[in-house]
Structure 1
Amino acid sequence: MRTSPRLALGAALLAAPLAAAVPSAASAAPAPTAPALPLVANRALGAAGAHAGDLKAATDQKFQVIGVSVDRDGTSHTRMTRTFRNLPVLGGDVVVHQSRSGAYQGTSLTLRSAPSPTAPKVPASKAKKAAAAKHYTLRDGGALVVEARTADHQPRLAWRFRTEGKKADGTPSRVFTSVDALTGKVLFREETIKTDAGDGQGLYSGTVPLQLTKSGTSYQMKDPTRGNTYTGDAQNKADICFLTFCISRAPTVVFTSSTTHFGDGTNANRASAGVDAQYGTNETWDFYKEVFGRTGIKGDGKGSSNRVHYDKNYANAFWDDSCFCMTYGDGDGTQLGPLTALDVAAHEMTHGVTSATANLTYSGESGGLNEATSDIMAAAVEFYAGNPAERGDYLVGERVVLPGFGKPALRFMDRPSKDGKSPDFWSADLKNLDVHYSSGVANHFYYLLSEGSGAKTINGVSYDSPTSNGQAVAGIGRDAATRIWYRALTTYMTSSTDYKGARTATLNAAKDLYGAGSTQYNAVAAAWSGVNVN
């Protein structure tokens, strides 16, 4: 994994030096914890024992303090959860109220009676069938709990299962179901994904749906359905780093709104760029999850973050392992606009996936493969998203280029040499090129494998892909080509894989997925030969 800030910053969209850095704002110091709180908590635990009847407590029960609040007059309110014989009692939480001096003033709870010892009569395997739901997938084997959140608030021994699926409108859903361990009946279903649906109008993406987090009376651009991925404003500040150490970081001030709408599609509204970045990471998250079963960059369900409006006139974007974040500049206003287009977001997020899997070294041929992986998956995400405002194509960064750039895109996968620096075919000199140019050979391979050689028009864009040996290549379709590349990356490539190794890795992947000697396997060999990797 790349942990060096300098090295991680190198995983940028373009081969360009970083602009001069400026200091970031100092972060606010955390508020000190009130010294009286531990005393209040201990008094509350003592009160729980002294007033067991009020708390519906009995032998084999334990309480744990999870929060304390103190009023201005010193009255305290201590929130606790409970266990019974080491099983969590769901709905058994209680608040103990005390005066400034610690005198007991009562409790708040819904539990009607103390749990009693019982043993399950229904096995987990049978209870699981009751918990199953159409279009939902069971994610665990069940755990014993005491369920007391039913209408009568009576505690019952239950098996609790986690299921995941989608609601009718496509919103992710994670439901925990409690099944009575004595009767086998469903006692309680709990949806744990709490969303505030909203939307945003980006610079490039148009008006798109967003999942938001309610915070007081405002909404945050933070998605609880995708690992709490969030987007913030870097306030045109930059990281200050020396070698492997950063003395300051540009901020990530999370975008908020008094309504569920963000941005207006213009640069004047700073949230517009944030909408694009959040939307881009949302689509990339969904792509990896739905196509490959990968939940999040590391596959652990954890989200990342985006910083937009980074530095001044910064015409690049990058992924940084050390902050697990994507960063986007506003462009220079002449050659490049804000770097927040969908394929740029997918490109940068994929650097994180590469880091978490093959960890391809960011130099030489392995660095070219690293960059190509980000371009390849970015193209796949564009087609996957199906957004007419950012249609799928085999161009890189076509939405962010301005007339001053002189070309209609940053890179061209069908014929990489159209950018003036990337080779179409492999040669021994490839290892000496910047990784953003040596990536062209793998990009070309992917295009040939997906669409084949020769002239064609796809989604209104004209392509004409040559081969080094003059032999025509027949494409196998983008879906198969993408699956082969992903399996090669995650199963066979290592940190020093070069182009020869990539050929072997993708052939092995094709064999695993489609069989040795299959049409797909033979197409992989032909596409590599078409870019002079033999």
Structure 2
Amino acid sequence: MRSNLSRGRTSHTPHRPTTHRRAATVALAGVAALIAAAVQSGAATAAPATPRAGKADRAHSAVRLTPAQRAELIRHADAGTAATARQIGLGARERLVVKDVVKDADGTLHTRYERTYGGLPVLGGDLVVTTARSGKTMEVIRATGATLKVPGLTPAVPKAAAEKQAVQRAKALGATKPAADSVREVIWAASGKPVPAYETVVGGLQDDGTPNQLHVVTDAATGRKLFEYQGVKTGIGNTQYSGQVTLTTTQSGSAYTLTDGARGGHKTYNLNRGTSGTGTLFSQSSDTWGNGSSSNAATAGADAHYGAALTWDYYKNTFGRTGIKNNGVGAYSRVHYGNAYVNAFWDDSCFCMTYGDGSGNTKPLTSIDVAGHEMSHGVTSATANLNYSGESGGLNEATSDIMAAGVEFYANNPTDPGDYLVGEKIDINGNGTPLRYMDKPSKDGASKDNWYSGIGGVDVHYSSGPANHFFYLLSEGSGAKVVNGVSYDSPTADGLAVTGIGRDKALQIWYRALTTKWTSTTNYAGARTGTLAAAGELYGTTSAEYKAVQDAWAGVGVGSRSGGGGGGGTSYESTTPVAVPDNGPAVTSDITVSGRSGNAPANLQVSVDITHTWRGDLVIDLVGPSGTAYRLKNFSSSDSADDVNETYTVNASAEPANGTWKLRVQDQATYDTGTLNGWKLTFP
């Protein structure tokens, strides 16, 4: 899979399956119970031993494994895949394939698996199994809760038809390649009932010169397109702003090369305007590289080599991760890609980072933050492998932005100090502004500040906004402040303040969720659940850190505040489940408010928790005591994501506070049903 950070180059058009089930989580003990009870809602029902306030729980912190130790854990897990498959209830035709193992200080193992069925890869079949030191299974987190039972594996649709469909779609996106690179039979299980399918990959170049790697999943029985995502995610960042830095190189005879023997043998190559192959390894008689200007080809090489070293050191010293895949092997970098190519990208297939030279071939995109961003796509691919489409795609992009900020702050480079901006050193927009803002994402003109039910249909570079905003709030808190000379002013969705816990703790929570809690299909509600579980393990479920995670997510419209609403507000809640029939009449749930004076506030908070596949079918209204209806969510035929877990703000100042309030929910399309699990009114 290729990954980069460009905007407007990916396309996602949801196609509705006939059935669609919410991904399930099975949890058995300890903090695992939090996840089981909190899938989508984030509600906590169990707690681990609480660490000292403000101190990470060392027992639940990942240990730093050498490549040899990690390889041994993987070999041991691989030898036990058959037993593990039986233990967690997989069928006779299912097999597990070990992808990674994370070990905690107390001996707990988090083993990440891919899955096959009848010998075919299962897309959306990934899962994480957590086992105690004793060997007891504590928790299983699955990308899909659907049972893998496929009556037949013989395709009814010929492979050529799937290939034709994918090639036509790639051409619509600007690619010119006449045939697919590959077509393979798979089981598609990421968005509904598992079905035999084809996964077709079309390469080539898009119309702007970006390498294309479009993945199209086609139903092998009907020929209907089930899913697509663009494997290339392009990047933009600073150029030639790192100043004079120290590089680790290798001397061979009288020549020096950009080979970093201290970091897995990372190498930096010169493509010299080419667009394929490895290029030529930078080599020269002097160990002084570049002159700080694009007039010297080695300048971009030095910047890229420096960025790769920083990213390696950041992951190793912050999380104990040795290399992108945590196996001690270095990636490699290629600079001077194409002609005036204004982008950069990470490509899993070559395990390499590639940089263009920017407008006029004078601004190589080889900054600290772009290196951190793009290589973090590789880390995401090696761990949760978040699908690069829908809500999971937004989380994928945000993870790279978040880790890029981590790398930039870690670098502590005086000429490019750390910030919560993306691409602030290059005028890609032509108006002197950054590409993205984490404190208020909408300042870029397209990114979303907060989660809403249709965000899965937004381009992933803009749907990343709520996660970036969450990370900023968790790190620094809401309101106006200055960090490293940059002014920020972060609002919240519910108008209530958030107190930050510091960037270092926020990064630890995000990374642990990425590596031990999330799967390929994790959405925003699942991200909240995973980060809460991570915060509970690291700091305890009664800690300020745990509560801050709740409040920061509520600050971007995902879930409720700690203590029910926060800010000293009073909440009224209904927890009685109500079935939502398929394409049927509206159902209602009542909450009676009494003992208040005057009218309801202008910022009444309405928190809704609904389990429902294809949530776009739903129309949701709040009905006040007067009988007036306030629309919370409209019907959307294109919103194929699962569940509604959102806090809406309603101007209810015309309503008396006391009386019976109703939540009205109606499914207005066929195929999907659900349950209103509960809802809450909060009077700030």
Distance 1:407 1:420, change over 3 A: farther
Residues 1:338 and 2:364 are matched in the alignment: yes
Residues 1:207 and 2:244 are matched in the alignment: yes
SS of equivalent to 2:247: strand
> Which residue in 1 is equivalent to 2:182?
none
> Which residue in 2 is equivalent to 1:230?
267
SS of equivalent to 2:454: helix
Q: Distance in 2 between matches of 1:140 and 1:405?
A: 49
Q: Distance in 1 between matches of 2:426 and 2:336?
A: 14
> Which residue in 1 is equivalent to 2:390?
364
Q: Distance in 1 between matches of 2:370 and 2:347?
A: 14
Distance 1:203 1:519, change over 3 A: same
SS of equivalent to 1:219: strand
Q: Which has the larger radius of gyration?
A: 1
Q: Is the 8 A contact 1:372 1:442 kept in 2?
A: yes
Q: CA deviation at 1:269?
A: 0.3
Q: Is the 8 A contact 1:219 1:260 kept in 2?
A: yes
Cα-to-partner distance string for 1:93-126 (whole Å, 9 max, x where unaligned): xxxxxxxxxxxxxxxxxxxxxxxxxxxxxxxxxx
> Which residue in 2 is equivalent to 1:133?
none
Q: What residue identity is the alignment partner of 1:12?
A: N
Distance 1:209 1:519, change over 3 A: same
Q: Distance in 2 between matches of 1:512 and 1:407?
A: 42
Residues 1:316 and 2:316 are matched in the alignment: no
Residues 1:265 and 2:292 are matched in the alignment: yes
Q: Distance in 2 between matches of 1:320 and 1:139?
A: 22
Distance 1:445 1:371, change over 3 A: same
Identity score, percent: 58
Aligned match of 1:494 in 519, 524, 527?
519
Q: Is the 8 A contact 1:454 1:464 kept in 2?
A: yes
Q: Distance in 2 between matches of 1:479 and 1:410?
A: 24
> Which residue in 1 is equivalent to 2:446?
421
> Which residue in 2 is equivalent to 1:47?
none
Q: CA deviation at 1:398?
A: 1.0
> Which residue in 2 is equivalent to 1:147?
none
Q: Is the 8 A contact 1:338 1:400 kept in 2?
A: no
Q: Is the 8 A contact 1:16 1:316 kept in 2?
A: no
SS of equivalent to 2:256: strand
Q: Distance in 2 between matches of 1:332 and 1:140?
A: 44
SS of equivalent to 1:526: helix
SS of equivalent to 2:245: strand
Q: Is the 8 A contact 1:204 1:389 kept in 2?
A: yes
Q: What residue identity is the alignment partner of 1:320?
A: D
> Which residue in 2 is equivalent to 1:527?
552
Q: Distance in 1 between matches of 2:243 and 2:475?
A: 28
Q: Distance in 2 between matches of 1:337 and 1:461?
A: 23
Aligned match of 2:502 in 454, 477, 480?
477
Q: CA deviation at 1:216?
A: 2.5
Q: Is the 8 A contact 1:396 1:412 kept in 2?
A: yes
Q: CA deviation at 1:16?
A: 4.5
Q: What residue identity is the alignment partner of 1:378?
A: A
- Superposed counterparts of 1:247-396, under 5 Å: 249-333=276-360, 337-396=363-422
Structure with more helix by fraction:
1
Q: Distance in 2 between matches of 1:520 and 1:487?
A: 14
TM-score (norm 2): 0.48
Q: CA deviation at 1:367?
A: 0.5
Cα-to-partner distance string for 1:148-180 (whole Å, 9 max, x where unaligned): xxxxxxxxxxxxxxxxxxxxxxxxxxxxxxxxx
> Which residue in 2 is equivalent to 1:220?
257
Q: Distance in 2 between matches of 1:490 and 1:250?
A: 32
Over the residues paired in the alignment, what is the CA RMSD in angstroms? 2.1
> Which residue in 1 is equivalent to 2:534?
509
> Which residue in 2 is equivalent to 1:25?
none
Q: Which runs of 5+ in 1 are unaligned?
A: 3-7, 19-136, 142-201, 239-248
Distance 1:138 1:17, change over 3 A: closer
Cα-to-partner distance string for 1:197-223 (whole Å, 9 max, x where unaligned): xxxxx8221111111111221000010
Q: CA deviation at 1:271?
A: 0.8
Distance 1:264 1:452, change over 3 A: same
Q: Distance in 2 between matches of 1:497 and 1:333?
A: 40
Q: What residue identity is the alignment partner of 1:288?
A: Y
Q: Distance in 2 between matches of 1:16 and 1:330?
A: 20
Q: Is the 8 A contact 1:204 1:341 kept in 2?
A: yes
Q: Distance in 2 between matches of 1:495 and 1:377?
A: 18
Q: Distance in 2 between matches of 1:365 and 1:378?
A: 20
Residues 1:14 and 2:3 are matched in the alignment: no
Q: Distance in 1 between matches of 2:360 and 2:473?
A: 34
Q: CA deviation at 1:405?
A: 2.1
Q: Distance in 2 between matches of 1:12 and 1:267?
A: 22
Q: What residue identity is the alignment partner of 2:266?
A: T
TM-score (norm 1): 0.61
Paired residues, what number?
337
Q: Is the 8 A contact 2:294 2:363 kept in 1?
A: no
Q: Is the 8 A contact 1:237 1:251 kept in 2?
A: no
Q: Distance in 1 between matches of 2:348 and 2:328?
A: 16
Q: Distance in 2 between matches of 1:138 and 1:426?
A: 39
Q: Distance in 2 between matches of 1:218 and 1:16?
A: 43
Q: CA deviation at 1:140?
A: 8.9
Aligned match of 2:483 in 451, 458, 462?
458
Q: What residue identity is the alignment partner of 2:556?
A: V
Q: CA deviation at 1:406?
A: 1.5
Cα-to-partner distance string for 1:228-264 (whole Å, 9 max, x where unaligned): 10111111111xxxxxxxxxx2433111121111011
> Which residue in 1 is equivalent to 2:202?
none
Q: Distance in 2 between matches of 1:373 and 1:454?
A: 23
> Which residue in 2 is equivalent to 1:400?
426
Q: Distance in 2 between matches of 1:16 and 1:427?
A: 20
Q: Distance in 1 between matches of 2:549 and 2:66?
A: 37
SS of equivalent to 2:489: strand
- Superposed counterparts of 1:66-105, under 5 Å: none
Aligned match of 2:473 in 419, 427, 448?
448
Cα-to-partner distance string for 1:283-304 (whole Å, 9 max, x where unaligned): 1100110111100001100000
Q: Distance in 2 between matches of 1:252 and 1:385?
A: 28
Q: What residue identity is the alignment partner of 1:203?
A: Q
Q: Which runs of 5+ in 2 are unaligned?
A: 11-64, 70-238, 560-684
Q: Distance in 1 between matches of 2:450 and 2:266?
A: 38
Q: Identify the structure with bigger relative contact order (alpha carbons < 8 Å, sequence gap 6+).
A: 2
Distance 1:288 1:233, change over 3 A: same
Distance 1:464 1:493, change over 3 A: same
Q: CA deviation at 1:407?
A: 4.2
Distance 1:140 1:416, change over 3 A: closer
Q: Which contiguous aligned blocks of 4+ residues in structure 1 show a shift greater than 6 angstroms?
A: 137-141
Q: Distance in 1 between matches of 2:551 and 2:66?
A: 42
